[in-house]
Amino acid sequence: MHTREEKIAAFGELLDIMDRLRADCPWNAAQSMETIRPMTEEEVYELSDAIIKGDRDATAKEIGDLLYHMVFYAKIAEEAGDFDIADCLRKICDKMIFRHPHVFGDKTGQPTSAKEIADTWELVKAKEKGGNKTVMGGIPDAMPALLKALSMQEKARGCGFDWEEPAQVFDKVGEELAEVKDAIDGGSQGHIEEEFGDLMFAVINACRLYGIDPEVALGRTCSKFRRRFTYLESKTLKVGRKLTDMTLAEMDEIWDEAKAQGL
């Protein structure tokens, strides 16, 4: 591992590289926060993918890519006279110190366990100067719906609004499933959509209550489906046929083969 001085020097080199790129590279000079934003979203997903796969080399690379993006945003803002990277670092340092009084402040009466800290997290944030005026106010509108639902549920839990026992959530899941079926039988498309949304929200809640990250769980199911479907497609091509020519029974048989092989 590197020394503190080496870490600071490496970050300084990244700042120097960004200065040079903004001055001498036409592409970098032409970028704005708005044009970089979609690329940043892609980088976040690439980092998430590397973490899920347990690929430490890829994780280090993707963290570097994100650091580059953060420095890029700060440089653009600095050129506009809005703020610079030091302002960004100062804000996050101040925020972390304020939100961790059990570490940086008077420890008397402060939470001592990870659970106690998590349970009081939203209350601490609510006291923050310039913070969000409502519990849900800090959840970005642009956040993907699955992650947004999980974030909302976590924030509600932090205020004590949660199930007393995890198993109770399955009554809610069953209730929402029944409402979906009722809506399909006689509701409008808008009503059906609403009920499906309620059902998914309840299932995400169940995941949370049992310590399962719904994004990871669904991502792994997608990977499993891809493996099995790729096997189905490959097996079909080997016998000189197309999937569109196969019957459902024939496809199911090959699908079961894929499952039996642990795909």
pLDDT tens digit string along 38-64? 999 999 999 988 998 899 999 999 999
Domain ranges of the chain: 4-99, 216-260
- Cα→Cα distances 222→64, 216, 227, Å: 27, 10, 9
Mean pLDDT on 208-212: 96
- Residue 62 and residue 75: Cα distance in Å, rounded? 20
Q: For residue range 143-173, what is the model confidence (pLDDT) as tens digits?
A: 889 999 999 999 899 888 999 999 999 999 9
Q: Is the pLDDT of residue 125 over 80?
A: no
pLDDT above 80 (res 123): no
Residue 116 has pLDDT above 80, yes or no: no
For residue 131, the model assigns a pLDDT of: 63
pLDDT of residue 159: 85
Residue 121 pLDDT exceeds 80? no
- Helical residues (DSSP H) of 25-81, grouped into ranges: 26-30, 33-53, 56-79
Query: How far is it, in rounded angstroms, from Cα 45 to Cα 125?
Result: 27
d(CA 46, CA 39) in angstroms, rounded, equals: 11
pLDDT band at 132 (very low <50, low <70, confident <90, very high): low
Q: E-strand spans in 51-204?
A: none
Predicted local distance difference test score (pLDDT) of residue 122? 64
Residues 6+ apart with CB under 8 A from 120: 111, 158
CATH homologous superfamily of 4-99: MazG-like (1.10.287.1080)
- pLDDT band of 87, cuts 50, 70, 90: very high
How large is the average pLDDT for residues 222-237?
A: 95
Cβ atoms within 10 Å, residue 3: 8
Provide, rounded to the nearest whole percent, the portion of the chain with pLDDT above 90. Answer: 76
Owner of token pair 């719904």? 214
Residue 262 confidence (pLDDT): 93
Tokens representing 3 are 């020394």
- Judge whether residue 256 has pLDDT over 90: yes
pLDDT confidence of 16, banded at 50, 70, 90?
very high
Tell me the residue type at 123.
L
What pLDDT does 106 receive?
77
Confidence tier at 135 by pLDDT (50, 70, 90)? confident
Model confidence band, residue 99 (pLDDT cutoffs 50, 70, 90): confident
